[in-house]
Amino acid sequence: MNPIDLSTRILIGNTPDDDYCGLSPNQVHELYYDTFSANSSLQFHPGIDDAVLDQVPFFRLTEALIHIIRREQLLKLTKKGALTKKVLEELFSHKYIPEDLIASGISKLTREDDCVSIANASIVAQNSGLVKKVAGKLSLTKLGARLCAPVNRVELFYCIFLTFTQRINWAYNDLYTEDAVAQLGWAYSMYLLMKYGDQERNIDFYAERFLTAFPDFINSFPIDAHHTPKEMFLHCYGIRTLDRFFEWFGFVDNKQPRKFLDRSACTFTSSEILGKIFVFD
């Protein structure tokens, strides 16, 4: 390769790009493919403590499930391999993640799938290496038993967070494409929230910038008679990124309540907890 060509490629790769909201192509590549490598701009905050973790709803929910399994030693599942109603009710009673339809009595909590946050906590626990399922019962692995110790709580958070973002399929939670829209590139969404979250904005603001950076995701949505591919992308991104990532982990503060299924009417800012869990250099 011509040395001039090589130096030009290096320069372009390290030059901030407006399409990436000020990041260079190399920084975006690192966030997308190797999020927590030594060269990545995003890292866990070195000062995470119990007071911080207590404010992370999905972590608290999954942690509560793991402690139930530890308490029971062998946690019996239903014939379909799901959590029993008794366990569901115990987890729901903590009110870590609001489920308005259940709390209001419009829906009933009888099956694991009735509460998407609890269903995801169960999936994460079973895909994290913390829990194993044998003969219709859940029990802790050696790793799970070790990370249940209070001194290892931050490591438990790392395990749960990385499993949620990298080892389960967010598409399980909705009726949109099975493609990993919004999940692939989640760290870029975090960057956007850290960059722009000081002012109230709606989720479409972030979705538009995400799509500019990763335009191929629009191809995951077919043309139909009711919605354009972009409309479906915006809805999908909103559910997966705002409803079931940012909110579940306490990364945003909602300023304007959402009107029924209208995420564009819901404005939010980044929460203090975000900067206590991550640093971006």
pLDDT over 60 at 2, yes or no: no
CA distance 199 to 250: 17
* b (16+ CB within 10 A) / e for 231-268: ebbbbbbbbbbbbbbbbbbbbbbeeeebeeeebeebbb
pLDDT over 90 at 31, yes or no: yes
Residue 4 binned pLDDT confidence (cut-offs 50, 70, 90):
low
- Summarised one tens digit per residue, pLDDT across range 111-155 is 999 999 999 999 999 999 999 999 999 999 999 999 999 999 999
Of the candidates 256, 255, 254, 249, the one whose C-alpha atom is nearest the C-alpha of residue 276 is 249
The pLDDT assigned to 240 comes to 97
Residue 251 binned pLDDT confidence (cut-offs 50, 70, 90):
very high
Residue 261 binned pLDDT confidence (cut-offs 50, 70, 90):
low
Amino acid letter, 109? L
CA distance 101 to 99: 6
CA distance 246 to 193: 9
Q: Which residue has the higher pLDDT, 260 or 120?
A: 120
The pLDDT assigned to 6 comes to 44
Mean residue pLDDT of the chain comes to 92
The pLDDT assigned to 77 comes to 98
The pLDDT assigned to 99 comes to 86
The pLDDT assigned to 257 comes to 64
| Percent of the chain topping pLDDT 70 | 92
The pLDDT assigned to 258 comes to 60
pLDDT over 80 at 263, yes or no: no
- Summarised one tens digit per residue, pLDDT across range 59-102 is 999 999 999 999 999 999 999 999 999 999 999 999 999 888 88
The pLDDT assigned to 9 comes to 47
The pLDDT assigned to 23 comes to 96
Write down the domain spans for the chain.
50-168, 172-280
| Percent of the chain topping pLDDT 90 | 83
In this prediction the pTM is: 0.92
